[in-house]
Structure 1
Amino acid sequence: MVKFLLLALAFGLVHAYAELEGTWYTTAIAADNVDTIEEEGPLRLYVRELTCSKGCNKLGVTFYVNANGQCSKTTVTGYMQEDGKYRTQFEGDDRFKPVHATPDNIVFISQNVDRAGRTTNLIFVVGKGQPLTPEQYEKLEEFAKEQNIPTENIRNVLATDTCPE
């Protein structure tokens, strides 16, 4: 019976992470250091695809950054750490974790420590290309407060995404 429960739990986790895979678009971003996510900011990422491998112990993230009017495509691989967060290198050291997923949206928390040692705490919301509903935005505001990110630091970025599909 215990083996069955462990198998069910493992299947449930794999299924949950399988929901991460696919085509996604950044809908909203929030950060305590808001300059990092303003237009052409280094952490204003326009996500395109998430891919899982090795039981989702590796999470690939393909995205664009728009700097100086030029969209640069980047793919990073996050490696699952013991604390359940993924770790990768982009604009410094990054740790991120999906904290809520539905078929329409995924919410990630992230922490970036740049090369100068400045720490930025972020929330990324990716979706299927639709803006957040008023109810979803309200939940994002509540979550931002819980993460000590001022609600005025939330940026709806879907409309500013001019990078290629």
Structure 2
Amino acid sequence: MVKFLLLALAFVLAHAQAELEGKWVTTAIAADNIDTIEEEGPMRIYVRELTCSEACSKMGVTFYVNANGQCSETKVIGYRQEDGKYRTQFEGDNRFEPVYATPENIVFTNKNVDRTGRTTNLIFVVGKGQPLTPEQYEKLEEFSKEQGIPTENIQEVMPTGKQSE
């Protein structure tokens, strides 16, 4: 029985890894502190790729940020914690997790505590380059409310010329 459970766990982790890995682009962002995701805000990230290693205990996130008129590529590695969330350092301490995944979209929650101690709750939606459908946007609004993020703080992110990189 134990071998069966371990095999099932390995299958689930492999499936999750396959579903998360690959080229993705930021489709929408929401935050309770809206200034963090405005143009050139510190948490307005433009995701381009997700990688998993070591049975997805490490998740790599490659993204672009635009600060002071400069667009730069950044990569962080999140390390899975005992509670299943990933932890990394970027503009402070971040604890993030994928909460919903389909072949078209992945929804992440993230809690950022910046260097001043300010906490921001965020939602990132990454996809394959298509805008959210009206139904998906409605689900995002509902989820945003559940997370304590005002729906007016949802921002759809337009694709940039860097998509193919």
| TM-score between both structures, scaled by the size of structure 2 | 0.95
CA distance in 2 between counterparts of 1:9 and 1:57 reads 13
Q: Percent identity?
A: 79
**What amino acid is aligned across from residue 46 of structure 1 in structure 2?**
Y
CA distance in 1 between counterparts of 2:5 and 2:114 reads 42
Residue 31 (structure 2) aligns with: 31
SS of the aligned residue for 1:99 comes to strand
Query: Aligned ranges for residues 71-86 of structure 1 at < 5 Å?
Result: 71-86=71-86
Query: Aligned ranges for residues 115-130 of structure 1 at < 5 Å?
Result: 115-130=115-130
SS of the aligned residue for 1:152 comes to helix
**What amino acid is aligned across from residue 67 of structure 1 in structure 2?**
A
Residue 140 (structure 1) aligns with: 140
**What amino acid is aligned across from residue 72 of structure 1 in structure 2?**
S
SS of the aligned residue for 1:108 comes to strand
- Note the aligned Cα RMSD (angstroms): 1.3
Q: Does residue 1:62 correspond to 2:62, yes or no? A: yes
**What amino acid is aligned across from residue 104 of structure 1 in structure 2?**
E
| TM-score between both structures, scaled by the size of structure 1 | 0.95
State whether residues 40 and 67 of structure 1, in contact with CA within 8 Å, keep that contact through their aligned partners in structure 2: yes
SS of the aligned residue for 2:20 comes to coil
Structure 2 residue runs of 5 or longer lacking an equivalent are none
Residue 101 (structure 1) aligns with: 101
CA distance in 1 between counterparts of 2:16 and 2:31 reads 26
**What amino acid is aligned across from residue 156 of structure 1 in structure 2?**
E
SS of the aligned residue for 2:148 comes to coil
Q: CA deviation at 1:8?
A: 1.5
Q: CA deviation at 1:6?
A: 3.4
For residues 123-155 of structure 1, the C-alpha deviation after alignment (integer angstroms, 9 at most, x for no partner) is 000000000000000000000000000000000
Structure 1 residue runs of 5 or longer lacking an equivalent are none
Q: CA deviation at 1:163?
A: 4.2
For residues 4-26 of structure 1, the C-alpha deviation after alignment (integer angstroms, 9 at most, x for no partner) is 13312331132112211000000
CA distance in 2 between counterparts of 1:90 and 1:163 reads 21
Q: CA deviation at 1:66?
A: 1.1
Q: CA deviation at 1:2?
A: 4.2
Residue 21 (structure 2) aligns with: 21
Q: CA deviation at 1:158?
A: 2.4
For residues 88-144 of structure 1, the C-alpha deviation after alignment (integer angstroms, 9 at most, x for no partner) is 000000110000000010000000000000000000000000000000000000000
Query: What is the count of residue pairs matched by the alignment?
Result: 164
CA distance in 1 between counterparts of 2:116 and 2:149 reads 21
